[in-house]
Chains A and B, each alone.
Chain A
Amino acid sequence: MPSLPRIPTVLIAAGAALVVRRALRRRIGRAPLWPMPALENPVSGRGRSGPRQLLVVERAEEAEGVVRLRLEGAGLPGWEPGAHVDLVLPSGAVRQYSLCGDPADTGSYTIATRLIEDGRGGSREVHEQLHEGTAVEVRGPRNRFRLEECHAYLFIAGGIGITPILPMVRQAESEGVPWRLVYGGRTRASMPFLEEIEKLAGAASDRVTVVAEDEDGLPDLAAALADAPPHAAVYCCGPDPLMDAVAALLPQGARGLTLYTERFAPAAAVPGGEGAPSREGAEFEVELRRTGRTVTVPADRSVLRAIRDQALPDLPYSCEQGFCGTCQQRVLAGEVDHRDELLTDAERDDSLLICVSRARGERLVLDL
């Protein structure tokens, strides 16, 4: 039968407990979060910048057929010139628009859209249904048209393509980097932000060439590229023919020019305008590098379904709508048409959500 502990034993135990308690308290007093180590690069709390409701607080006619909207919210994520946001329109359609306001303003975003009569209806919805006081859902911002550091810039904008270029011009100006802008449009009255651009050009007005088609025809791109400083960065946004022309003329321009463009049309990013739908539902192949198999993704099946059906039935997934992130996989090769609403730009560089995203070309290679 166990005997009751004797008094000295109890005293020793109590004394030991007190000493331990005091030592712990002093240790924790010195470092309140002792004794757990921290993860070197914390994962939590970086914020996903999911969709947020913004309020249209200002609507103005920026030019003929172009409205400028200021969308207000609190503590908006920062952005850099070239960024765009996804606008979820009242019908549920999602359209991308470049931010053309001041990046330092964390209380509102500014966008401008041109009404496209024969477009898919997104711009019509913006023009007809977004008024002062309307709430609108916004995702992003994302940036696939970043302004890289350079010693000189040549900007080429066509029409509403000025929207991502304008904040770039402002930044180049404020950092004192030499820049030139060629800005083309149908008529002066239809070209947004002309006044601000002419003000930015200041006295040295040869920095800006405004070319209205009804007065002067098309801009002389060959001359602009030839006059550019060697090794300058060329940023171009506008209708497809403009960008194709710039790309074709680039080799005849100054030495070492680097061209950066953002297209209105096919890709997921459709800043400032509207265009044809992307390679809708085309068939393509996905190679699973680790498994050593290749599956064909039919036009009407997702990558996820195709891989589960043909190769890996236990592949994890859940929402199948591109928001939960369970089916994220690494991409080893191939260009992705991202259609999710979760991944950050950095994550999109080397991964995709296979439940919604597709190949932009004919083949993807996944680390599976």
Chain B
Amino acid sequence: MSNTASLRPGSVASEHTPLKARNVAFDWADTPLHWIPGDPDSTHTINVLHLLLPAGERWFVHVYKQVLPQIRDARLREDVLGFIGQEAMHSQAHDDVLPHLKRLGLDPTPYTAQVDWLFEKLLGDRTLPPGRARQWWLMERVAIIAAIEHYTAFLGDWVLNAGALDARGADPTMLDLLRWHGAEEVEHRSVAFDLFMHVDGGYRRRVRTWATAFAALVFLWQRGTRFFMANDPTLPDGRASFREFARGGRQGVLPTPGAMARSIPQYLSRAYHPSRYGSTAQAAAYLAQSPAATAAEAHPPHPARPTGAA
């Protein structure tokens, strides 16, 4: 436990948003393979999300279930419970895209089976004795999640503001998935970091796990883009390249390398708190008009059966 409670960076926003999972559903039937028309490179760069998130966010839930008994703050516990449900829905929603890609001739299984291995085995519950070793591994994973959530919040904020995607005629269903997800990431962006500060908060651990998470993300992302480009049935000799990535950034259909570089010192700053970046109001505004999120509001699961009659 850290003993620097009074020096801890706190949330800059005073308002507190109660978090709840939204029971969204997307119909992929009409989404084309290249859902950013004429730009397979950028499409596939963003598609890597569908490869990493199903297993990754399932793993978040798995880890957070274990850390739940260690939370001593009632409001943080509520936040974490809401966070868990949102992440579970993100995982399910992205997972549903994978069979659609398979139907379109681009089978993602060779890649996702490896991502499954990464999160289930390499980052899973290792054979450790109860006590310090097990606790160390749990804290390490909680810190890795906080670092990854810095990037999901960054991407969420980016996609909410990426007007170029609309201008280029990107598929509305895919945009809604990305923005619903992005908005929820912005909405709950402080939870993972607050939890890490609550249960551990060590700066050395923060830096170490950031380096691991960042290296892994770069490795997996370029690999995923190359995998998609090489196996896309409509691209006879598709190849991913950094030049295309930078071009996507210039055109506004991908985040720019510059913005990504600038987000690094943010997280490593001792004064960092996620609430300083991104806008909760913007996220809430999108969720209030997202087709999937509003449909989930309109049709809660058991409206006609108050206590669940068949």
Contacts and interface: CB of A to CB of B under 8 A. Distances in A.
B84 A318 contact: yes
B54 A326 contact: no
Interface stretch (B18-26, B153-161, B203-211): B18-26
A65 interface: no
A39 B116 contact: yes
A94 B51 CA distance: 33
Nearest to A357: B308
A51 interface: yes
Given A36-B114, A319-B21, A326-B84, A92 B98 contact: no
A324 interface: yes
A280 B309 contact: yes
Contact of B117 (A37, A53, A300): A37
Interface in A307-340: 314, 316-319, 321-326, 337, 339
A73 B114 CA distance: 32
Interface centre among B61, B99, B102, B304 (most CB of A within 10 A): B304
Contacts, number: 155
A33 B227 contact: yes
A283 to B, nearest CB: 12
A240 B74 CA distance: 50
B46 interface: no
A100 B150 CA distance: 50
A62 B2 CA distance: 72
Interface string B137-171: 00000000000000000000000000000000000
Interface residues on B, range: 35 or more
Interface in A92-122: 92-94
Given A50-B92, A267-B310, A319 B117 contact: no
A336 B266 CA distance: 50
Contacts of A356: 301-302, 308
A278 B309 contact: yes
Contact of A44 (B29, B88, B95, B100): B95
B34 to A, nearest CB: 18
Interface string B10-37: 0000000000110101010110000000
A32 B51 CA distance: 16
Contacts of A51: 25
Given A322-B301, A339-B310, A316 B227 contact: no
Interface residues of A, number: 54
A319 B113 contact: no
Contacts of A299: 307
Given A32-B226, A323-B21, A356-B302, A45 B98 contact: yes
A43 B308 contact: no
Interface in A60-101: 73-75, 88, 91-94
B115 to A, nearest CB: 7
Given A319-B23, A337-B310, A48 B95 contact: yes
Nearest to B88: A324
A321 B302 contact: yes
A368 interface: no
Contacts of B309: 277-278, 280
Contacts of B95: 44-48
Majority secondary structure, A binding face: loop
Interface in A201-254: none
Contacts of B99: 45-47
Contacts of B100: 75
Nearest to A122: B304
B118 interface: yes
A42 B227 CA distance: 17
Interface in B68-118: 68-69, 81-82, 84-86, 88-89, 92, 95-96, 98-100, 102-103, 108-118
Interface centre among B69, B303, B310 (most CB of A within 10 A): B310
B61 A326 contact: yes
A44 B304 contact: no
Interface string A116-147: 00000000000000000000010000000000
B300 interface: yes
Contacts of B84: 316, 318, 324, 326
Contacts of B120: 39, 43
Nearest to A314: B69
B199 to A, nearest CB: 14
B262 interface: no
Nearest to A277: B309
Given A33-B110, A47-B95, 20 more contacts: A32-B230, A33-B111, A38-B117, A39-B113, A45-B108, A45-B112, A46-B99, A88-B299, A267-B310, A299-B307, A316-B65, A321-B23, A321-B300, A321-B301, A321-B302, A322-B301, A326-B84, A337-B310, A339-B308, A342-B92
